[in-house]
Structure 1
Amino acid sequence: MRGINGKGSIYTLAGNRRKKFAVRVTIGYDEDGKPIREYLGYFETKIEAKDYLDKYNLEHPYTPKLITKLKYLFEEFIKYKKDSISKSTLDSYKYSFNYLKEFHNSRLEDLTFMQLQNILNNCDKSYSTKKQIKNVISHLYKFALINQINVLDNSRLLNIGKNIKSNKRKAFKKEEIQLLFDNLGIIENIDLVIIMIYTGLRSTEFLNIEIENIDLEKRILIGGGKTKAGTDRYIAISNKILPLIKNRIGDREKGKLVLINNKEIKYSKLNEIFGNIMLSLGLNHLPHDTRHTFATLLSNADANTASIRKMMGHSSYEITEKIYTHKEITEFINAVDLLE
């Protein structure tokens, strides 16, 4: 039976003992951050043990001490958070914490503001990565406070600079796409990124795809928006993502393709999921890069230029009545099959 942090605990001893309930308290930590415990007494019943522990705490008020290394504090923080946030968020925390590697064996109260600021200054990653590093540092200070550890919060004044947005699109490299596939079943919702790469759908278009508009047998989905040419366009389904789409649909016959915990999500949530996945893998991409990647992959595979533009929904290939011929659909399929 665990008590409140710093208030001791009741431990059930193994074997056939008359007094099998032990009362113990943590009196400090060794140099590796492991707790040093002292046993105060042994009792026949848990009620007797609890009464003794309550009396002990009244007579010996707990004074919290921090003698633990940063890496152990982070481990406890992960245990504390793991049941309340998604796996992808936990993975992004772990990835961001690696940027503090040179201080993993340091104590939180020994870290100076400039040591933490220099980590951000020397980071050559994106604004979102720096923001997540600062976020993890802030979480550690808050976690220390929750555990009654009084330490100056150096995270409040950390500066990550301005978020300078660039219009430059950066396609996923071949090895980065393979990394995404390698982490299927490991990183939560990573299939969403792969499907976006192989359909060229914008984030909002992707979230609005209806199951009724997906023909798995013909390998065609209907969706899109933003421009007149892009609305309700046909997009061929590559065999590389056909199993992922089937898995997303399951036994459902209608509704949105993309559901998280059986609920539709908004653009901001998809961005969050995407960002956490990029952080987990150490990649530096924005959601729109998936659309650019789709066009780049098809172009590099010498796919039919008209098919690429039509599936992308470019205005120069507007189809007035949105009627696709069998020949056009076949050309779409042939185009994505070049990506196998």
Structure 2
Amino acid sequence: MAKRKKYPKIPNGYGSIKYLGKGRRNPYAVHPPTTEFTLDGVPKTPKALCYVSDWMIGFAVLTAYKAGTYYPGYEKTLAATAEISDSKLIQSILADYNLTKASDEKLEAAKKTFSDLYEEFYQWKYERDQSRKLSESSKNATRAAYKNCSAIHDKVFADLRHQDLQNIIDSCPLKHASKELIVSLMHQMYAYAEIYELCDKDYSVHVRINTEDDDEHGVPFTDDEMKILWENKENDVIQMLLIMCYSGFRITEYSKIAINLEDKSFHGGIKTRSSKIRTVPIYSGIYDMVADRCEKYGIQNILGCQTQKFRKDMNAALSDLGIAIAPTGEKHTPHDCRHTFSSLCEKYEVKENDRKRMLGHSFGGDVTNDVYGHRTLEDLRSEIEKIKICY
């Protein structure tokens, strides 16, 4: 007597196919996955979806059920397909299997927590490509940023929304630079999630730091020191320092900002959203210097060299003038020029909100000024021109 054909084991979670014995037109009962159990933990076999003549048709029914494409009577369609050819039936199974696989992957993605995704992202960024070496400082910064997101570590990533992310930044007691690292990590993780279709949209795009940048310490040049700088404005390095003192940009921003000599303005910046969109009028006292440097070095980088070289040249130039060390005992840095600009604005009573605009500082949640505070270039020019050169 011929043995009944053996079939492969059905995957977990698919259901079952039971052979009811020969002599039946449809000897295979197709049951959906078990959902109920006895008090002893024994699974209860659910009512059959249908009865079919062939095991392969039964497996096709289960695959369709798993994929969500099954409907009562679907087995008759499959039987007709099987009569045409086995390959047609196999194609039907594969089509539903692919839907099932996609559904399972989506379900798995929906379960991943912020920490789960971080582990994947970290491996993807730092470990997958050994030919692409990233610094230890970069790894440490990423790990530190992750640690500061502890409030959402166990939350499902796909369920996170903008406010969950914003709350992390708003409640963070650390300095501005640490918050910047957190925001950067959020952006990178969402970029990774979008690549692998693990989220519906990037909820980090509008996360912002609602506090002023408190990490940029510096000492403004004194009136006596400013007098010395103006007396030596023909020196190439000193000339650039004066431009920096009367425009307020960070040293690294001078290769990023757009300079418009026609309407006499700087535009752009780096770091925060407020910095990147700011406009600063070119103060009349430095306009000729800016124009000369644009002609000499090009409009893209009036600094004239790399920032590291400029720092060295600045130290040498200030040492020659005897003002390399501030009265506080600290060594002057390029960032002191930004503090000098802020100090000059304060001294000559430039409106506080306009000083913030020109420095690229946020309004710290002040919606009136942040959203509705519209100032024209000429409005800002009238404020910056309050500054007087009295040296």
Which of the five TM-score ranges fits, normalised by the shorter chain? 0.3 to 0.5
- Which gives a bigger RCO, structure 1 or 2 (Cα 8 Å, sep 6+)? 1
Q: TM-score, normalised by structure 1?
A: 0.44
From the CA coordinates, give the structure whose radius of gyration is larger. Answer: 2
